[in-house]
Structure 1
Amino acid sequence: MAVRELRLWPDPVLSQVCDPVDPADPELGALIGDLFDTLYAAGGRGLAAPQIAVLHRVFVVDVTWKEGARDPRVFINPVLEKAHGEAATMDEQCLSIPDLPMPVTRPQTLRLTWDAQDGTRMSGTFDGILARCIQHELDHLNGTVIFDHQSPEDRAALEARYAA
């Protein structure tokens, strides 16, 4: 496995919609290993394949490793079935837009289906920081970044700060 170069905004790959991937693809295991290696090396909590220039519908998350034991999770071909619950606004950070946290409003609970590495179709309900991280990474698979969650005025100001 390897630490890969992170793509930084405004790299066009970050605005592209990713394609489904076959869980039986023999190269998928190496990609997932590289995603985790890159995630941990960069100090993040989630990382999607397009952030390392791979346009596959795959992301990894580990929201606990900084405070305790690792809890690595892999999501292949995820589909958001339902986002519900009260929406909450929190500052989010993105490894592809470093050092620029910005507020993002998201539902606090979601239901997701995805493929496991063995091809089994999974389903689960997530809440709290894990739900937020999953939604953030799912955005990446759909060509969306946290700038896209801002009002036009706030986005312009944040992009100007980022470019400085």
Structure 2
Amino acid sequence: MKGVYSQPDNILGRAAQQALFPDTTYGVDSGGDPQVIPKLTFEEFKEFHRKYYHPSNSRIWFYGDDDPNERLRILSEYLDMFDASSARNESKVEAQKLFSKPVRVVETYPAGDGGDLKKHMVCLNWLLSDKPLDLETELTLGFLNHLLLGAPASPLRKFC
């Protein structure tokens, strides 16, 4: 984990994620903060895993042209090993509330002695809605993001 936070792109991404989603689970690192991880007891770790890494808190997709009845039989055999859990209701992620004013975050990162190393980086983010987007809007924004920024030849990426 500490190695990840020595890379400028990862430091910038983590700071942007925390600034954009400060009130939701998306604002925290899924692997945990390396400064806090040693304080976690084994019992706390086991309880978190028992509660949230449970089939009741998952979605299962099927793919292929095998026999659906056999597929469901195998799945049922596996899922029958678990008791019901309320984790699905407890782990609902609420939407991030919109901000009343812009948020500015400045982070530093270790810069080496190399002459071609990036010394400055900028990340600009927008929280577009505090409600779930409809599928068409979400897909449109995803395409737009990819076209403008998602590839080395993208116009806004080339601009920087």
Q: Pick the structure with more strand per residue.
A: 1
TM-score, length basis structure 2: 0.22
TM-score, length basis structure 1: 0.22
Q: Which has the larger radius of gyration?
A: 2
